[in-house]
Amino acid sequence: MKSLLLAGVLAFLALTRPAFGTEGKFAFGYIAHPFGDALTDESGLRQALAEADQANLAFVVVGGIKSGIEPCSDELYEQRHALLNQAKHGLVVSLSESDWSDCRHRDGRPAALERLRRLRELFFADDLSFGASRIPLIRQSTNPKFRDYAENARWEIGGIMFATLNLPANNNRYLSAAGRNGEFEDRLVANKEWLQRIFMYARRKRSAGIVIFCDGNPLYPQKEDNVRRDGFRETRRLLLTLAASFPGKILVVHNQPPRDGRQDAPVIRWKDNLGDLAVASEWISIKVTPARPALFAVAPGKGAEPARD
């Protein structure tokens, strides 16, 4: 395992060197969920991956592997696994609600927990990303107390701490029926520990910024959507508390539409040092410029700088 991880580190350093410009500038890609208008097949995802392969990026994050109307079958999971592994850049998966939380058996019974277990086995089995330039990852599952939460991963590039957080958009999968929220409550504890650890390491390493990838928007109070209980409440409070004592920028990249329901192009909405970036149905390039006060800038993926040999 150590030799595999070392090989991954060396390959990643060799293949990502062209992605870094002068003064530590670099860019990374984010492929949103769903994948354009192609909800019934993977053509939109294939196109986004092909375009990202041609761009000068340090890595790519995919915000979900399937649309809500596609099956939650092993066959589809394995098909997407093979597709993502063909990526040129290091590629990290950030789970969406349609990947597991909304899944049901053919008879209508919930299949969320069983499907999440299968995703963990298939997509998060080792400590490296997908793609040719495999990024070394640190998973929460390395902590014996949270060995199930392999989908939560972190990595550091260019003085920025990056992390994924399993936070499904359907109110964080809080179930209204009494006595049915064991998974939600356990994941709430795991996510709290994970966020605290991310910020602890970012402060220790004096990171200029933190980028968190998740499905739902934890910064948006769900009570405005007439839900009985805001499933993001604890996560939002924790993020606000952690952000208040962090000297750098924090960017939350998620798949939920903006609060006003309109989005001509993805834009970062800042409140103090905490940025909210909703990416609804496209792929984007996010540029990191340490010398700029804003640190992060968003650009359409199709306009990203071409990769250099």
3-state SS assignment for residue 79? helix
Beta-bridged to residue 61, according to DSSP, are 30, 92
d(CA 26, CA 59): 10
- What is the token pair recorded at 68? 């809500």
Of the pLDDT bands very low, low, confident and very high (cuts 50, 70, 90), residue 137 is: very high
Q: Are 115 and 100 in contact (CB under 8 A)?
A: yes
What φ, ψ does residue 79 adopt, rounded to 5°?
A: -65, -45
Query: From the DSSP assignment, how many helices (H) and strands (E) are in the chain?
Result: 6, 12
Q: How many CA atoms does the CB half-sphere of 49 hold within 13 Å? A: 25
pLDDT value of position 20: 55
d(CA 196, CA 84): 30
Q: What is the CATH number of the domain that holds 172?
A: 3.60.21.10
Task: Between 285 and 24, name the one with better pLDDT.
Answer: 285
Rounded to 10 degrees, the C-alpha dihedral 280/133/164/185 comes to: 120
Q: What is the mean pLDDT of residues 82-86?
A: 97
Span 271-302, pLDDT tens digits: 999 999 999 878 999 999 999 999 999 998 87
The residues, ordered by sequence, that sit 6+ positions from 61 with a Cβ below 8 Å of its Cβ are: 28, 29, 30, 31, 91, 92, 93, 94, 162, 164, 213, 253
Q: What is the mean pLDDT of residues 195-199?
A: 99
Span 243-268, pLDDT tens digits: 999 999 999 999 988 766 666 689 99
Structure pTM? 0.91
Cα three-residue angle 42-46-52, rounded to 5 degrees: 145
Of the pLDDT bands very low, low, confident and very high (cuts 50, 70, 90), residue 309 is: very low
Percent of the chain with pLDDT over 70: 84
Residue 142 covered by a domain: yes
Of the pLDDT bands very low, low, confident and very high (cuts 50, 70, 90), residue 228 is: confident
Q: Which domain holds residue 196?
A: 2-303
Tally of structural domains, the chain: 1
d(CA 155, CA 195): 13
Of the pLDDT bands very low, low, confident and very high (cuts 50, 70, 90), residue 35 is: low
Residue 195 covered by a domain: yes
E strand segments, the chain: 26-31, 60-62, 91-93, 138-139, 153-157, 160-164, 209-213, 249-254, 268-271, 274-278, 283-288, 296-300
**Residue 179 region by backbone torsions, left for phi larger than 0, else alpha for psi between -120 and 50, else beta:** left
* Average confidence score pLDDT of the chain: 89
Residue 228 covered by a domain: yes
- Residue 230, pLDDT > 80, answer yes
Residue 57 covered by a domain: yes
Residue 149 covered by a domain: yes
In the β-sheet with 60-62, what is the strand arrangement from edge to edge? 91-93, 60-62, 26-31, 283-288, 296-300
Residue 32 covered by a domain: yes
Crossing angle for the helix pair 182-204 and 233-244, to the nearest 10 degrees: 10
Residue 295 covered by a domain: yes
Span 3-19, pLDDT tens digits: 544 444 444 444 444 45
Of the pLDDT bands very low, low, confident and very high (cuts 50, 70, 90), residue 33 is: confident
pLDDT value of position 282: 82
Residue 309 covered by a domain: no
